[in-house]
Amino acid sequence: MAMEALTYDRAYAYRQEIPPKEYETWQPRKVMQLLIDIDPNADKNSSIAFGLEEEAGKPAKKMAMLGSEEVLNLATLKKHYDALGSYLHMPTLKQMFDGPSPDFAQLKERCEKIVAYLEKVLASRVFNVTLGQFATLECVRCSANIRKRVPFASELLEAKCFNCGAEYRVRNESDQQSLWEPIVEEIGCPGESCAGKIKLWRDEIKRGTWWTCNSCGKAYEICLSIAEKEATPPSE
Ligand SMILES: [Zn+2]
Ligand SMILES: [Zn+2]
């Protein structure tokens, strides 16, 4: 439970970045993997120090240390958490007949190692530090705020509005600027001799979505249909 509590507490620090459907994830190993997918430094130890720069942009010569954080990292969770799971239940009849009986001396030794590690984690002077650079946008579809962690390199990322599901591509352009591009499909108007085009979000491409064409004024709807299969060359 201590390993779970520490991991959930850490996840809480990232709550604005975790898709709500992941809130049900409970295995600490999976929760920590989720955090690492959001921020590769999520399970790394860190120290925080501050100081006054004598010259702007040059690190200060004198730094005051605020403290260090020891994190219950993924490797430790992998090593110990699952191993404890089998002790939560009595061995089944099959296990009793087949397997060796549980080695309680080994279990005790493992628990002592875990306790020593957790004590180091809990003694950290700073904890659940998440530093990063974020790009924000008011969703163009529903006006909710979207916040996405963006690395310093100009990497193209995908972001999703947790409120309405609209998807975007995001790129960090400079210190203060990021470029957001809605991920939409451009679909030509099916009307005869109409050059109209409509843009649909990915989640709108489903049966029942309809629109009125700006060019020909007719309404169209996405339906299921059966069409004659075009001849395909026989596969080898
Ligand atoms: Zn939205
Ligand atoms: Zn049209």
10 and 80 together in one domain: yes
Confidence (pTM): 0.74
What's the confidence (pLDDT) of residue 236? 59
| CA 111/CA 37 separation, integer angstroms | 29
- Domains: count for the chain: 3
The Å distance, Cα 202 to ligand 2 centre, comes to 20
Share of the chain above pLDDT 90, in %: 62
Compute the mean pLDDT over every residue in the chain, rounded to the nearest whole number.
90
Q: Which domain holds residue 192?
A: 187-236
8 and 96 together in one domain: yes
For residue 189, give the ligand nearest its CA: 2
Determine, yes or no, domain membership for 112: yes
Which helix H or strand E contains 29, and what residues bound it?
helix 28-38
pLDDT in tens, 47-59: 999 999 999 888 8
22 and 90 together in one domain: yes
105 and 21 together in one domain: yes
- Going 174 to 40 to 136 to 204, the CA torsion angle's sign is positive
8 and 117 together in one domain: yes
165 and 112 together in one domain: no
80 and 39 together in one domain: yes
178 and 220 together in one domain: no
For residue 144, give the ligand nearest its CA: 1
Share of the chain above pLDDT 70, in %: 97
pLDDT in tens, 150-179: 876 668 889 999 999 999 999 888 777 889
The Å distance, Cα 94 to ligand 1 centre, comes to 52
Annotate 182-206 with b (16+ C-beta within 10 A) or e (fewer): eebeeeebeeeeeebebeebeebee
| CA 72/CA 66 separation, integer angstroms | 20
